Amino acid sequence: MGNELYLSDNAGHRVPPAGSPDPILASGQWLQADQSEAKSTTVVAGATYAFTATRGGSFYFGIAAVATAANVVWACGLYDTIIIVIPTDYTTLYYSSSQNNGNGRLRRLTD
């Protein structure tokens, strides 16, 4: 009998390995932010997303404005992929980059 590896996010939700997400077709968003610039995007409440930082530094995410460090819930280093599970009652994901011209891809994953 084989073994299965279980991963959990910071809230205890089961998530896929960051390197092998199963995105929903045409769900990708291109996120761009400059250093200390607070931006936001609309997301689906309760959905799971994968984010890959592709250029310009690390990204910081939260369900409230991330200009305050206390509001940062997820962090993604350059060239890394993280899994983000949006809480049930939230439809806005806030983000900023550690460097100017930070870019990355956000993809919604299948359930």
- Per-residue pLDDT tens for 34-48? 887 789 999 999 999
Task: Give pTM, 2 decimals.
Answer: 0.85
Mean pLDDT, the chain, integer: 86
Taking the C-alpha atoms of residue 37 and residue 16, their distance in angstroms, rounded to an integer, is: 30
For the chain, domain boundaries? 23-108
**What is the number of residues in the chain?**
111
Output the CA torsion sign for 82, 15, 108, 70. negative
Q: What would the pLDDT profile of 71-104 be if each residue is shown by its tens digit? A: 889 999 999 999 999 999 999 999 999 888 899 9
CATH 1.20.90.10 correct for 23-108:
no
C-alpha 77/C-alpha 52 separation (Å) is 9
